[in-house]
């Protein structure tokens, strides 16, 4: 499980992409996921920093930076 903040873990095998929150294409993906009901905001009271794209068009918003998430993802990959 990949910890994406606020004690939320996701299946790292289903992650497609980790991207910064503030990019223009991220905003379009977020809007689309919001319209489809597949958007999950786990940033809590923290500033949104990352967008995580998952299989089945699920999108997570996280307060953890993309670099930190990538490091955690790489650590999980090395363990397998």
Q: What average pLDDT does the segment 17-45 reach? A: 94
Q: What is the pLDDT of residues 41-66, one digit of tens each?
A: 999 888 999 999 999 999 999 999 99
Q: Are 17 and 27 in contact (CB under 8 A)?
A: no
pTM, 2 dp? 0.91
Range(s) of the domain holding residue 50: 2-79
On the CB side of 71, CA atoms within 13 Å amount to 5
Q: How confident is the model at residue 77 (pLDDT cuts 50, 70, 90)?
A: confident
Rounded to the nearest 5°, which phi and psi values hold at 78? -70, -30
């Amino acid at each position: 499980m990949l910890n994406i903040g606020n004690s939320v873990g996701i299946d790292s095998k289903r992650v497609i992409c980790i991207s910064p929150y503030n990019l223009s294409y991220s905003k379009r993906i977020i809007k689309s996921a919001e319209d489809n009901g597949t958007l999950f905001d786990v940033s809590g009271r923290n500033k949104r920093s990352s967008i995580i794209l998952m299989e089945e068009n699920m999108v997570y918003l996280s307060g953890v930076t993309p670099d930190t998430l990538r490091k955690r993802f790489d650590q999980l990959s090395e363990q397998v």
